[in-house]
Homo-oligomer: A and B are copies of this chain.
Amino acid sequence: MILINGKQTTTIEATDRGLHYGDGLFETIEVINEQPVFLTQHLMRLEAGCFVLKIPFPKKILLVSEVQQLCKDIAHGVIKIMLTRGTGGRGYRQPEVINSTRYIALHPYPHYPENYQQQGIKARFCDTRLGLNPLLSGLKHNNRLEQVLARSEWQDEVQEGLMLNINGDVIEGTMSNLFIIKNNIVYTPKLDQSGIKGIIRDIIIGLCHTHKISVQVIDMNVDFVRTADELFVTNSVIGLWPITKLQDKSYPIGEQTTSLIKYFNQFKQQGIEG
């Protein structure tokens, strides 16, 4: 079901700037027992992104009530919130008065095998390289051709592909953020040139601080990742998936990853119970 500006529909104005220029931002949120998980964090990120792109952020109470409307009676699902700069303007020039488009959709929870969190996934390195864009990096905006091309490199042989940028830095998965563990230190890539700053990434970094686990945000190359002791990826729908095979090399689900899964699931449970 899709609500656009509060009305149930299956179509959107053909002149919407989201369609023409990817002129928008989005959030993907897990729904458990009618509860949009980490909604506060998602709305904060969305508002911060709107500030950078100068897209008017709607009244938060309106977004929340529309999200709740779609979550009603949903045991497990996914909510996508998208905000675009709406219609109008001439070419790239935006209209003087911007009425942003609110798109909120409910999707079924994707059928990932339950055991990905317990048993881990296979991953590969993608050939598609991310560009460098300090202005837009970190934001979950609608300009996502790089991810689409990277995801087209494989079908079901692996569950995630890791992407490098054109400098050779490992940045993220096509749909997830990357963490690696080496000598009991947790590392995750810097995202100031490329990549999306995920909500779960922030939460994992916070949990490391809380639990006195050393965590560092750094530039890392392929060799650094390959020689990790443990690896995992995160996003708002999958939570945390250990990588047990990357290309031809196997990795254990070690002590640190196991602890972080426990801490994360506890934190998430607290969030759901409110």
Contact = CB atoms under 8 A, between A and B. Distances in A.
A214 to B, nearest CB: 32
A13 interface: yes
A42 interface: no
B135 A92 contact: no
A68 to B, nearest CB: 20
Contacts of A128: 135
B92 A148 contact: yes
B94 A23 contact: no
Interface residues of A, number: 54
B21 A147 contact: yes
Nearest to A52: B149
Nearest to A128: B135
Contact of A175 (B11, B91, B166): B91
A119 interface: no
Interface of A: 2, 4, 9-23, 26, 53-54, 82, 84-85, 90-94, 103, 105, 110, 128-129, 131-136, 141-152, 166, 174-175
